[in-house]
Each structure stands twice: as C-alpha cells, then as structure tokens.
C-alpha cells in the first residue's frame, strides 16, 4: 500500500520533468572556474618531478603536481637509501587568510603544518610542533627558492628559542628529472 501511495505522489512529478515540445530549457551554467587568482600560481615553480641532493649526495626524489582542478599541490617525497623516509604534503593558497598552507605527513607519523607566503620571490612557510627531544615546541621554517636554471633550493630550519637561533634540518637542491 505504501508503495502505491508513493508511486501516486511521484508520477505527476516525473511527468513534469519531461520536456514539453516547442519549449526550450534554460541553459545550464558553465562551472565556475575556481582558484584562478594569481596567488594560486605562486608556488607553481615547485611543480615537477625532481632528483634531490643535499651536500652533494642523493637525498631522494620528489614529485609535485597540481590536484583538485589546480587549487592545490600534492607532494610525494621518497628519501634515498634503506632508511629513506617517505612523505606527502598538501599545499594550498588559503583565500580566507591570504596565506599559503602546507600539511606534511610522513611514514614516521610526523605531522608538520606550516603557513606563509611568497616573499621577494621565495616561498617561506613556518609553524610550530613539539620538539623531537620533548623539550617543548620547535619553530620550523622552510623556504623554497627558484633558481634561474629551473632548479629549486629547499632550506628547512628549526628553532627552539622562537626564532632567536636556527639549526639547518635540510638544505636540498631540486633538479628536474
């Protein structure tokens, strides 16, 4: 009985959804182009497949590609050697804050969240997380500098005194594969 009642209610609605001969339907609007502001392209210099060295030694490979209709970048890192850590980051320009944001996770369980932006052609992001040695919070700062030859320098530093002193965690040179 419920089925028949439902069918009696739905049939008139289904009939009204059909086209009526001689009438035209309103055009379907084109999808709105998202993430078209210039700010979304500020980190495009990092897009590509990379061989990464540090201190002249192979450090790993990295693949950085646009996702979500060009609204974000996804990084996939693979460190070299048997102990090479793997990780992934998602990077997006946050229109609400006017800043770039990176969320990094790796196979050791590390989560690093950074915010920042383009300063004189260099992408600089920073954020705090607990220090590995349990001594409180460490401030992390990572900069990506595009070089004239198309390579990129990534400098990762950490400070335990809120930026008073910095220790280099990683200084990498990205060369396109």
Count structural domains, the chain.
Answer: 1
Long-range contacts, 133-138 (Cβ 8 Å, 24+): 135/160, 136/160
Q: Which domain holds residue 153?
A: 38-176
What's this model's pTM, rounded to 2 decimal places?
Answer: 0.80
81 close to 87: Cβ distance less than 8 angstroms:
no
pLDDT, tens only, 64-91: 999 999 999 999 999 998 779 999 999 9
With respect to residue 79, please indicate whether it lies within any of the assigned structural domains: yes
8-32 pLDDT per residue, tens: 444 444 444 454 556 667 776 666 6
Which pLDDT value is given to residue 133?
80
CATH of the domain at 158: 2.40.128.20
* 6 found inside a domain: no
Residue 17 lies in a domain: no
For residue 42, tell me if it sits in a domain.
yes
Decide: residue 74, CB within 10 A, 0-12 exposed, 13-18 middle, 19+ buried.
Answer: middle
């Amino acid at each position: 009985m419920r089925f028949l009642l439902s069918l009696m209610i739905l049939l008139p609605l289904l009939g009204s959804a059909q086209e009526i001969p001689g009438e035209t339907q309103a055009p379907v609007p084109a999808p709105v182009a998202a993430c078209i502001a210039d700010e979304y392209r500020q980190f495009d210099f990092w897009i590509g497949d990379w061989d990464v060295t540090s201190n002249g030694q192979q450090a790993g490979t990295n693949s950085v590609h646009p996702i979500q209709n060009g609204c974000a970048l996804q990084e996939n890192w693979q460190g070299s050697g048997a102990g090479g850590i793997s990780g992934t980051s998602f990077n997006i320009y946050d229109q609400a804050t006017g800043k770039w944001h990176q969320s990094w996770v790796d196979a050791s369980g590390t989560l690093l969240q950074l915010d920042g932006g383009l300063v004189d052609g260099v992408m600089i992001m920073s954020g705090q997380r607990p220090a590995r040695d349990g001594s409180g919070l460490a401030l992390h700062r990572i900069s990506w500098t595009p070089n004239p030859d198309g390579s990129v320098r990534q400098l990762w530093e950490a400070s335990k005194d809120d930026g008073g002193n910095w220790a280099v965690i990683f200084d990498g040179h990205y060369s396109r594969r």
